[in-house]
Amino acid sequence: MIKPTIFLSVLFPLLAIGSVSAAEAKDRCTLEGIRGISPTDSVIDSVRHVAAPVPHCEVLGHIMTNNPGPNRVGWSLMLPDDRFGGRFFFMGQGGGAGQTITAAADSYGQGASTNKLLRNGFAVSSSDTGHSPKDGGLGSYDFGANNPVRRLDYGHRGAHVSTVAAQTITRAYYAMEDKLYRYHMGCSGGGRMGMMAARHHPEDYDGIVASTVAKSGGALYFGIILQHIVKNPENWVSPQKLAFLERKVDEQCAGPDGLVRDPYGCGFNVDKLQCKGGDNEDCLTAAEISTVKLITSRFKLGYGEDADVPGFSISNPTGWTSFLMGETRPSSTNVDNPWAPAPPVPAFIVGRSIARGMYFDNLAFDLINDLDFNDKKTLELLTERHPEWGVTDTNLSGYQKAGGKLIMWAPLSENAVPPASELEYHDAIKRDIPDADNFVRTYAVPGVLHCLGGPGPQDTPERLLDAVIAWAEEGKRPDELVVSGGGAAPIIPSVQGTTPPPPPIARTVLICPHPQQAVFNAREGAFPYTASNWACK
The answer to whether residues 495 and 2 touch, using CB atoms and an 8 Å cutoff, is: yes
What does 442-474 look like in DSSP terms, one character per residue? EEEETT--SSS-SSS-TTHHHHHHHHHHHHHHH
With cut-offs at 50, 70 and 90, classify the pLDDT of residue 8.
Answer: very low
| Sheet of strand 405-411, all strands in order from the earlier edge strand to the far edge | 42-50, 56-65, 71-80, 122-127, 87-91, 181-187, 207-211, 405-411, 440-445
For position 7, what pLDDT does the model report?
Answer: 39
To 10 degrees, what angle do helices 221-230 and 346-354 make?
130
Mean pLDDT computed over 7-12: 45
By percentage, how much of the chain surpasses pLDDT 90?
77
Q: Is the pLDDT at 160 greater than 90, yes or no?
A: yes
Segment (H or E) for 115: helix 111-119
Choose between 96 and 108: higher pLDDT.
Answer: 96
By percentage, how much of the chain surpasses pLDDT 70?
89
The Cα 110–Cα 97 span in angstroms is 13
Q: Which residues contact 32 (CB under 8 A, 6 or more apart)?
A: none
The Cα 169–Cα 158 span in angstroms is 17
CA 27 to chain centre: 37
For position 486, what pLDDT does the model report?
Answer: 54
For position 219, what pLDDT does the model report?
Answer: 80
With cut-offs at 50, 70 and 90, classify the pLDDT of residue 20.
Answer: low
The Cα 110–Cα 131 span in angstroms is 19
Mean pLDDT computed over 463-483: 97
Identify the bridge partners of residue 88 per DSSP, sorted by sequence position: 123, 182
Identify the bridge partners of residue 124 per DSSP, sorted by sequence position: 78, 89
Mean pLDDT computed over 215-232: 88
Mean pLDDT computed over 272-290: 96
Mean pLDDT computed over 80-105: 92
The Cα 462–Cα 300 span in angstroms is 34
For position 232, what pLDDT does the model report?
Answer: 95
For position 27, what pLDDT does the model report?
Answer: 83
The Cα 471–Cα 439 span in angstroms is 9
The answer to whether residues 34 and 99 touch, using CB atoms and an 8 Å cutoff, is: no
Which amino acid appears at position 25 of this protein? A
For position 133, what pLDDT does the model report?
Answer: 64
Q: Cis (ω within 30 of 0) for the bond into 419?
A: no
SS3 letters across 280-304 = CCCCECHHHHHHHHHHCCCEECCCC
With cut-offs at 50, 70 and 90, classify the pLDDT of residue 2.
Answer: very low
For position 85, what pLDDT does the model report?
Answer: 95
For position 113, what pLDDT does the model report?
Answer: 83
The Cα 78–Cα 420 span in angstroms is 36
50-60 per-residue burial string, b: 16 or more CB within 10 A, e: under 16: beeebbbbbbb
Q: Is the pLDDT at 10 greater than 80, yes or no?
A: no
Question: What sign does the CA torsion over 464, 108, 145, 64 have?
Answer: negative
Q: Is the pLDDT at 417 greater than 70, yes or no?
A: yes
The Cα 264–Cα 267 span in angstroms is 7
Question: What sign does the CA torsion over 319, 322, 323, 328 have?
Answer: positive
Q: Is the pLDDT at 489 greater than 50, yes or no?
A: no
For position 302, what pLDDT does the model report?
Answer: 86
Provide the 8-state DSSP code for 341.
Answer: T
For position 94, what pLDDT does the model report?
Answer: 87
Q: Is the pLDDT at 497 greater than 50, yes or no?
A: no
Q: Supply φ then ψ for residue 251, to 5 degrees.
A: -60, -35
pLDDT in tens, 103-156: 987 666 677 888 999 999 999 999 999 998 665 556 689 999 999 999 999 999
Mean pLDDT computed over 156-164: 98
pLDDT in tens, 361-378: 999 999 999 999 999 999
pLDDT in tens, 170-203: 999 999 999 999 999 999 999 999 999 999 999 9
For position 1, what pLDDT does the model report?
Answer: 26
The Cα 70–Cα 63 span in angstroms is 10
For position 471, what pLDDT does the model report?
Answer: 98
| Range with the poorest average pLDDT among 152-156, 270-274, 420-424, 492-496 | 492-496
Three-state DSSP at 271 gives helix
The Cα 373–Cα 239 span in angstroms is 28
Q: Cis (ω within 30 of 0) for the bond into 39?
A: no
| Range with the poorest average pLDDT among 88-97, 228-237, 276-285, 326-335 | 326-335
pLDDT in tens, 391-403: 888 899 999 999 9
The answer to whether residues 357 and 392 touch, using CB atoms and an 8 Å cutoff, is: no
| Range with the poorest average pLDDT among 221-230, 341-350, 442-451, 485-494 | 485-494
What does 371-436 look like in DSSP terms, one character per residue? --TT-HHHHHHHHHHHHHHSB-S---HHHHHTT-EEEEEEETT-SSS-THHHHHHHHHHHHH-TTG
The whole-chain average pLDDT of the chain stands at 89
For position 248, what pLDDT does the model report?
Answer: 98
With cut-offs at 50, 70 and 90, classify the pLDDT of residue 274.
Answer: very high
Three-state DSSP at 288 gives helix
